[in-house]
Amino acid sequence: MIWHRQVTISRRRTGFATVFCVLNLFSPRTESLQSFLPYQRRPSSSLFATVDVWEGPWSATPKFLEEYWGQKPLLVRRAFDASTSPFPSWYDIVNLAVDDDTGYAARLVQHTAGDLTSFSLDLGPFDPDELDDALDDRSVRTTLLVNDVDRRRADLADWMEAQFAFLPRWRMDDAQISIAQKGGGIGPHVDNYDVFLIQTAGQREWKVGLDKLSTAEEYAALVPDIPVRILQKEFDAVAYVLEPGDMLYLPPRVIHCGTAASDQCVTLSVGCRAPSAADLIARMAEQLQDTATERYQDVNLSELTPSDVSLTTQVKERMKQMTLRAIQTLLKDDAAWDALVGGIITEPIRDDDLGAFDEDEDDYMGENSEELLQSSNIYLKRSPGVSVATSTVEISGQPASRLHRLFAHGTMWESNESLAREIFHHIEQGLPLTSEHLKAALTSPVLKSVLEELVQRRLLRIHRRND
């Protein structure tokens, strides 16, 4: 059996995807304590006194996972070799921003130095000449940011998954790259998620706050009436200048501010997906529209008198219980909850229609899919940057069954065949589906259909061994 549905959501990410700002913030190359505002949230104590500094190369050691992940910042000097890592160049990012197919993920943020109220935001794709002029204009502070770079660069996507292999693939968002000349950057802000900030070229100074900011405190401190989310209140911070290959890890809600300390400054941001309770509740509301069919019914109307209020405690309690029954029915259905969560954690955060293939493309499967899948000269592999998750759920009944599920790009496929678990695992891990896998899948109409649809939707790519 097979079932799937497509789901989409609007982009809600705060921080690097929507928080872009440029400030004229410079300091000497120092790692000493600095202060940037007269506003102290908890002046008597901070969550951390400084940012620990490790020497590379980077590895997600047990110490990192136990003491730093989700808890406190960490700076890793020489985490990576920038000369051998597959980092896109300044010009690669500019080319993505002006391309009609990829420029949708680009944003240009400008402001006048020293004026937090002067921010402007323009969305790509951009005219090449106008973008070059904007980046070269030293009368304003300019930052260009491009999301989903890993979807356009398979080598970068593979590198990310290897370096951050401790993360499930669905927890990894995207490779966002920002470029700026000296003085450009990202002003004081907080992110709702863990983020790794990797300097790939030039230098960038980061000021890292010593405390975390709640959502309410963030909203109270935002600069009003501008198209980006910037804090107008400053906090105690430590300052570091990152060189190519250095990496700064920040857990959610830590205040930070980045400023290009050199020309041709390029910074890679690897952010983590973190669905909120509001996201899950909104999706539950969508799903319950089709299943929560119970309606309110009156009780004991004869006991009411004209002097009574009409919205009684009993009426409100009956409506509350009706609502709780609908929610509990969904939460107690393991298969339905699994499908809801799997869909929301893998759907594309930004609008990105992967589109259908043209018949002259190498990956086009056409009508001869069975003949193609039987070829010993090809293998299939997950497309770069696609969010994927797998699960197994028990379905009660006579007889009971176990369903293996694959979620990709917000869509779910499922099968009760044992081979499905192996194939879905290979897809999730980015491992190749060899000719042996493909020939075995051809014996199952369900798995054959799944693979054909994944290829047609560009979620799997066809690779030829003589390429």
In a domain, 442, yes or no: yes
Average pLDDT, the chain: 84
Are 365 and 458 in contact by the 8 Å Cβ rule? The answer is: no
Centre a 10 Å sphere on the Cβ of residue 305 and count the other Cβ atoms it contains. 5
Q: Is the same domain home to 237 and 377? A: no
In a domain, 351, yes or no: no
Least confident residue range of 23-32, 84-93, 431-440: 23-32
Q: Average pLDDT in the 449-467 region?
A: 87
Can you tell me the distance from the alpha carbon of 58 to that of 71, in angstroms, rounded to the nearest whole number? 18
β-strand partners of 462: 380
**Which tokens sit at 7?**
């789901």
| Model confidence pLDDT, tens digit, residues 114-139 | 888 888 899 999 999 999 999 999 99
Residue 207's domain comprises 52-272
Can you tell me the distance from the alpha carbon of 109 to that of 140, in angstroms, rounded to the nearest whole number? 10
Q: Is the same domain home to 252 and 374? A: no
pLDDT of 56 strictly over 50: yes
Residue 436: CATH number of its domain: 3.40.366.30
Q: Is the same domain home to 248 and 133? A: yes
Least confident residue range of 336-345, 352-361, 457-466: 352-361
Q: Given this model, what pLDDT does residue 38 score?
A: 33
Residue at a domain's end among 216, 239, 272: 272
Q: Given this model, what pLDDT does residue 299 score?
A: 76
Q: Is the same domain home to 128 and 247? A: yes
Are 14 and 229 in contact by the 8 Å Cβ rule? The answer is: yes
More confident residue, 100 or 266: 266
Q: Given this model, what pLDDT does residue 116 score?
A: 80
Q: Average pLDDT in the 263-282 region?
A: 95
Class of residue 237 by CB neighbours under 10 A (exposed 0-12, middle 13-18, buried 19+): buried
Q: Average pLDDT in the 347-353 region?
A: 74
Q: Given this model, what pLDDT does residue 349 score?
A: 83
**Which tokens sit at 152?**
């356009």
In a domain, 35, yes or no: no
Q: Average pLDDT in the 92-106 region?
A: 93
Query: What percentage of residues in the chain have a pLDDT greater than 70?
Result: 83
Residue at a domain's end among 272, 298, 314: 272
Least confident residue range of 163-167, 219-223, 359-363, 371-375: 359-363
| Model confidence pLDDT, tens digit, residues 63-76 | 999 999 999 999 99
The structure tokens 């119970």 sit at 294
Residue at a domain's end among 272, 306, 324: 272
In a domain, 44, yes or no: no
